[in-house]
Every structure is written in structure tokens, then in C-alpha cells.
Homo-oligomer: A and B are copies of this chain.
Amino acid sequence: MNKLLIVGTVAFDAIETPFGKTDKILGGAATYIGLASNFFNVDAAVVSVVGEDFPKEYLDLLESKGVNIEGIEIVKGGKTFFWSGKYHNDLNSRDTLVTELNVLADFNPVVPQAYKNSDVVLLGNLHPIVQSGVLNQMTEQPKLVVLDTMNFWMDCALPELLDVIKRVDVITINDEEARQLSGEYSLVKAAAKIHTMGPKYVVIKKGEHGALLFHKNEVFFAPALPLEEVFDPTGAGDTFAGGFAGYIAQSENISFDNLKNAIIYGSNLASFCVEKFGTERMENLDKKEVNVRLKQFKALTQFEIELEE
């Protein structure tokens, strides 16, 4: 079984959407990625940090989904990273209400010995120095390294970000971030420029408008599934990345054709994530539902035009 190493936050979230609000609930990029990895035949491990206030039941949940949690440090007397946000009416944008870094402020990731030779590494959105620090601990070059990041690091830690971008195979960012990072408005040109920074593959996430996968001169598009109800977008991008990396780790195939399938899988899982608050839908999702929706993705996108010569 191939190993998938996941680095990212395990956290408390408090979320407000037009449809309701939650108290502190389970959140964090690595949590969503870990839950997504459960749908693949992979040996997944999370490297993260939490405080002593973090409920054991949340860690048990990750373990019950087959995620190795040896690399989640529990800081004695520490408080867990907390994020609170409020979504606007169209759910496409949100305001951050509270960010308490807490134990994340001094996070020094330690990769468990058994995962230093992981096949696929997914560097969730964190300070680029933390992301580089994980790569430095690998004893073998992973077959694929996927980096998720955001505009915050472009603003505050660009040199460090560019350093880690050089070292990865895939970068996943949203359309605005791709434009900021490249200085190009056209996403085709932006992807081409980001290729020259290091990543062979550029994944541009467009939320409800789907995701683009660029590789050299090739491009592939995975739409978001049109849904009757979108309840809470929190974690959708992480779930997408988790589905993407999990599929690749399972199949051990990093061809462009297989990466196409991987972004379809990522979009598929993300389409469930948004249907309930927080991690609720992902906790109770089963593989049959995923397969039904995969057929819907096929119906949504596949067509048969005969090309005239």
C-alpha cells in the first residue's frame, strides 16, 4: 500500500453561513484531507499540532478512518489553532472573524520515521518554511509532491514560498492567487509562468466554477457538480486536494491522464463536503455514494461529437 503524507492544520472552526452557524467544531486542512484520503487504498498519515484542549474523540475519528496520527503533536498546556469565519450570501466569499494561531505559531513538524519515504506528499496550506521543513525530512524523493498555498504567503513570505514552490511537482491555488503569483491575468499564461517556477502541474481551483489542470501545453477541466443546496464551503478546497492526492497515491501513476482522473475525484469528494456543516458529510459518506456521483460527473461532461475531417 502506498504511503500518503499529509501536512496541515488540525483545528477548531466556528462557521457562519446564510443557513446557520456552528460553535467550535472539528476543522483544519489536514482533517479534511485525511477524511478524503479514506476513500482510497492508501496508508495515510497526518503531521500536525494541536493543544491539550483538543478532544480525543476527534483524533479517534481520524484513526477510525485509517489515518495514522502518530505525527500529530499534542502540546501540553497548549491551545489548538482556532479559525472563525462568516460566509457572504453567495457563499463565494467570506470574512475571517477570528484567527488564533495558538500552538500553530511554533509548529515544528516532525515526520514519523515510517513516513519519511512516503510515495506522495501533500503540503497543506501552511507557512512555506514549515512546508520546506517537511520536505527536508524525507529520506527518499517522493514520487509526487503537491503544494497547497494561498495569497497570504505571497504577501508575507514570498521568497520562502518561491523556495518551496521550486521543489514541488503540483501546486494548487485559486484563480486570483494564480494571477497574483504570476502577474498574468489569463490563466493560460499564468499557468505557463508558474510552470517555470518549478511545478510541472498547475491546478487552478475556481470553487463553484470547477478546477483547471495545466501541464506543459495541455489543459484539462473538471467542473463542480451543480448542486441543489450548498450549505458550507469550508474544507471544500482541502477535500479536493485530498481526493486528488489520494487518488494518485493509490494508483501510483503520475501521467497527465491519471491526474485528470485525480482532479475529477477531488471535485467529486468536494461536492459532498459542501452539503453539510464542517466535516459532517465527509464523516458519514460511503464509497457507494461516491461512485454514484462519479457517474454524474461522467454524464455532466462526456459527449460524442464525430469530428468531420
Interface residues of A (CB under 8 A from B): 90, 185-189, 206, 209-210, 212, 218-221, 223, 226-230, 257, 260-261, 264-265, 287, 291, 294-295, 298-305, 307-309
A299–B186 touching, CB < 8 Å: no
Cα-based distance from A228 to B192 in the complex (angstroms): 10
Can you name the residue of chain B whose Cβ is closest to the Cβ of A303? B260
Q: Is B223 within 8 A of A90, CB to CB?
A: no
| Interfacial chain B residues near A186, Cβ < 8 Å | 226-230
- In angstroms, Cα B226 to Cα A187, docked, is 7
Question: Out of B219, B229, B261, B303, which one reaches A303, CB within 8 Å?
Answer: B261
Residue of B nearest to A221 (CB): B223
> Are A305 and B299 neighbours in the complex by a CB distance under 8 Å?
no
A305/B294 contact (C-beta < 8 A), A186-B230, A212-B226, A228-B188 known = yes
Copies in the complex: 2
Contact A300 B219 (CB under 8 A): yes
Given contacts A185-B90, A226-B212, A227-B188, contact A304 B261 (CB under 8 A): yes
A265 to chain B, nearest CB (A): 8
Specify which chain B residues have a CB less than 8 angstroms from the CB of A220 in the assembled complex: 299-301, 303
* Chain B residues, Cβ within 8 Å of A261: 303-305
Contacts of A307 in B (CB 8 A): 291, 294-295
Q: A223-B210, A223-B221 are in contact. Are A189 and B228 (CB under 8 A)?
A: yes
Q: Please give the distance in Å from A252's CB to the nearest CB on chain B.
A: 15
With both chains docked as a complex, state the minimum distance between the C-beta of A293 and any C-beta of chain B, in angstroms.
11
Task: Give the secondary structure class of A's interface.
Answer: mixed
Q: Give the top 6 A-B pairs by smallest Cβ distance, nearest first.
A: A209-B209, A221-B223, A260-B303, A261-B305, A188-B228, A301-B301
How many angstroms between the C-alpha atoms of A302 and B218 in the bound complex? 13
Residues of chain B with a CB closer than 8 A to A219's CB? 226, 299-300
In the bound assembly, the distance between CA atoms of A220 and B228 in angstroms comes to: 15
The complex places the Cα of A187 from the Cα of B209 at a distance, in Å, of 12
Q: Are A221 and B188 in contact (CB under 8 A)?
A: no
Q: How far is the CB of A91 from chain B (nearest CB, A)?
A: 9
Residues of chain B within 8 A of A226, CB atoms compared: 186-188, 212, 219, 221
Partner of A223, one of B223, B229, B291: B223
| Chain B residue contacts of A230, Cβ below 8 A | 186
**Is A303 touching B264 in the complex (CB atoms < 8 A)?**
yes
Contacts of A299 in B (CB 8 A): 218-220
Are B206 and A209 in contact, CB atoms less than 8 angstroms apart?
yes
Distance between Cα atoms of A294 and B308 in the complex (Å): 10
Q: Using Cβ atoms and an 8 Å threshold, which residues of chain B touch A264?
A: 303, 305
Q: Give 13 new A-B contacts, CB below 8 A, not counting A209-B209, A219-B300, A287-B308.
A: A90-B185, A188-B227, A209-B210, A212-B226, A218-B299, A219-B226, A220-B300, A265-B305, A291-B307, A291-B309, A294-B307, A301-B301, A302-B302
